[in-house]
Structure 1
Amino acid sequence: MDHPRDAARGGQRARPGRSAAAGWVSSRPRAERAREVADVLRQQITSGRFPDGVLPDEYSLGQRLHASRNAVREALGLLRNEGLITRRRGVGTTVVLPKYGHGLDRLAGLAEALSGHGAVTNEIRAAEAVTELPAVIAERLGVPAAAGGVRLERLRWLDGLPLSLDSSYLTTDVGTRVLAGDLVGRDVFSLIEETSGHRLGRADVAVHAVTADPDTAALLRIEAGAAVFALERLTHLADGRPVDAESIRIRADRMALRTTLHRGVPPASG
């Protein structure tokens, strides 16, 4: 027989007449178990495990995940606080918005990466030549600040909802040609390759989790302080020259950043 203290800490006992799933009763704190369940459900939601957007009831989820209903209920509360799901009596638990995967293992524009998921459109907020670059941008692009460049700011939309706010500085020779292209309907990457006659080669990427400032939140239609991905990207031509320095803010409730990592040969210890 399970010790009452363990049952109290691990969740409620099985109902009379029902057999408890393995792991329902646990000596682990329920909050810890709830966090684990939330992690599993989040992964399943973002990978499209529930294509109709409806999650099973608490009892069924508990059976599947070997967790108590209390732990499942707390886990769903965590996901609701994240804005990932909503819960309504008589309706059940449903996914608020689909999350789209954006691979980090391939250099691709947003429209290219989300091909087949919906229509990506660009609201142009700035598209202008600048006579002097900010010092930190000039350093990233490897040019003097006085060389100037092109500044772009685009609000990216997917199926009628804002997805990301992209701010870019391009070198003058590449950016001037891009300004003449279709910035509303095309990705900047494809415009760079088309207008410059050079292929892109690689990008250096850093991703941070930050909270949205009031201006960004208003543009992305989220609450100020909500979580967003801050992606800093420096894109190079195939010859290694950096031409595009970007700062991107992505709604974390609508995008999952994915990649496939391969383990190489460990360096020899000397």
Structure 2
Amino acid sequence: MADVLRQRITAGAFPGGMLPDERLLTAQLGASRNAVREALALLRAEGLITRRRGVGTMVTMPKYGHGLDRLAGLAETLTGHGTVTNEVRAAEIVTDPPPVITERLELPAGTAVLRIERLRRLGGLPLSLDTSYLPADIGRAVAAGDLTGRDVFALIEESTGCLLGRADVTVHAVTADADTAALLEIACGAAVFAIERLTRLSDGRPVDVESLRIRADRMTLHATLRR
């Protein structure tokens, strides 16, 4: 029951964020009053809804969908859901990057790369902390662009004159450390989505090693899979 309600909430099925009362939910879901009450209690414990006597049950904060079956930047994905802004925390050449970074970018060990770190907000509230490593020749051109207002993907395509081709993506859940939690304005130890992504140009060249930490209470990840 909680899964059904959670899916409806994340799909935006309740206009204005107000859920029907327990009696109506019981009729709509074909469930017992106790089952509905237990499901609502679980969703409340998760922080997805709030319940107030005389007011009703409301979604605490809307969640936004981010598809994993299309290569798109965050601002592009969230078009129509509000304004995405970027606080550039770092845009610097790293002369001695971690070996795993140069390996994934298929560069000789010790090759300089550009590191970009941005805190991304939607509607003024923190949404994700993104860190990207790019080959220095491309990174310098990207860093000269509008990192506060545009997606890195768009700047890569613009500076190289080449479209992005594909990306390898890994998603897992981690708990936020103290620094990440402070930046995302969540409790230390709260669950966040961790996305590791290697993006290539259409000619196959690896161009962006990216690590994202996304607030799990503000976003859902989805994909359309075909057999």
Q: 2:9 aligns with which of 45, 58, 78?
A: 45
Is residue 219 from structure 1 mapped to residue 219 from structure 2 by the alignment? no
Structure 1 residue runs of 4 or more that deviate by more than 4 Å after TM superposition: none
Counterpart residue identity of residue 81, structure 1: A
For 2:54 and 2:204, the matched residues in 1 are separated by: 58
Deviation at 1:107, TM superposition (A): 0.5
Computing the radius of gyration over CA atoms, which structure comes out larger, 1 or 2? Answer: 1
Instruction: Give TM-score scaled by structure 2 length.
Output: 0.98
2:212 is aligned to 248
Identify which range, 64-73 or 246-255, moves more after superposition. Answer: 64-73
Higher relative contact order (CA 8 A, sep 6+): 2
Is the contact between residue 93 and residue 115 of structure 2 (CA under 8 Å) also seen in structure 1?
A: yes
How many percent identity over aligned positions?
Answer: 72
Number of aligned positions between the proteins: 227
Deviation at 1:170, TM superposition (A): 0.7
Q: Would you tell me which structure has more strand in proportion to its own residues?
A: 2
Is the contact between residue 113 and residue 139 of structure 2 (CA under 8 Å) also seen in structure 1?
A: yes
1:131 is aligned to 95
List runs of 5+ in structure 2 lacking aligned partners: none
SS in 2 for 1:145: coil
Deviation at 1:59, TM superposition (A): 1.7
Is residue 203 from structure 1 mapped to residue 167 from structure 2 by the alignment? yes
CA deviation vs aligned residue, 1:213-234 (integer Å, no higher than 9, x gap):
1211111111112111100000
2:18 is aligned to 54
SS in 2 for 1:144: coil
SS in 2 for 1:97: coil
For 1:145 and 1:90, the matched residues in 2 are separated by: 64
For 2:183 and 2:171, the matched residues in 1 are separated by: 20
List runs of 5+ in structure 1 lacking aligned partners: 1-36, 264-270
Structure 1 vs Structure 2 CA RMSD: 0.9
For 1:239 and 1:195, the matched residues in 2 are separated by: 15
Q: 1:163 aligns with which of 116, 127, 149?
A: 127
Instruction: Give TM-score scaled by structure 1 length.
Output: 0.82
2:201 is aligned to 237
Q: 2:225 aligns with which of 261, 265, 270?
A: 261
SS in 2 for 1:178: helix
